[in-house]
Amino acid sequence: MAEYLRNPLCQVWAFLSAMTLASWWVSQGGFEFNVNVLVTVTVLLVSALKVHLVVRYFMEVNVAPRWLKRTMNAWLIVLLALLLGFYFFSL
């Protein structure tokens, strides 16, 4: 059991689960269903971080060649920028 506690995969999983619950809590935190910039930005940033961790540790891109790392990073950054961009544009 202690071995699993030291396993980076398990540590990443614990962090991801905690982030999931945290972003849920932020989204539920007593707000009505109204436009809320703070919630949206927090939720999207936390999700991007989660995706980055899944790519890096579960998909093992941290030991992959540079082209793959860069492609995955570029995808995530461009996606996040477009999502936030369209969100703010429509406010």
Partner 1 sequence: MTSTNSPAVNLAKPASATSGRVSGESSMWFFIIGDLFIFGAYFVSYMYYRGQDQQLFLEGQQHLDQWIGVVNTLVLLTSSLFVALAAEGARNGNRKTALRMLTIACALGVLFPVLKMIEWLPKLDAGLTPGESLFFMYYYLMTGLHLVHVILGLIILGFVFRELKTAKHPNIGFVETGAVYWHMVDLLWLLLFALFYLMR
Q: Which residues bind partner 1 (CB under 8 A)?
A: 3, 6-10, 13, 16-17, 20-21, 23-24, 26-28, 31, 33-36, 39-40, 43-44, 46-47, 50-51, 54-55, 57-66, 68-69, 71-72, 75, 78-79, 82-83, 86-87, 89-90
Shortest Cβ 67–partner 1 spacing (Å): 9
| Cα–Cα distance measured from residue 67 to residue 74, given in angstroms and rounded to the nearest whole number | 10
3-state secondary structure 31-82: CCCCCCHHHHHHHHHHHHHHHHHHHHHHCCHHHCCHHHHHHHHHHHHHHHHH
Shortest Cβ 56–partner 1 spacing (Å): 9
Shortest Cβ 61–partner 1 spacing (Å): 8
Q: Chain-centre distance of CA 41, in angstroms? A: 12
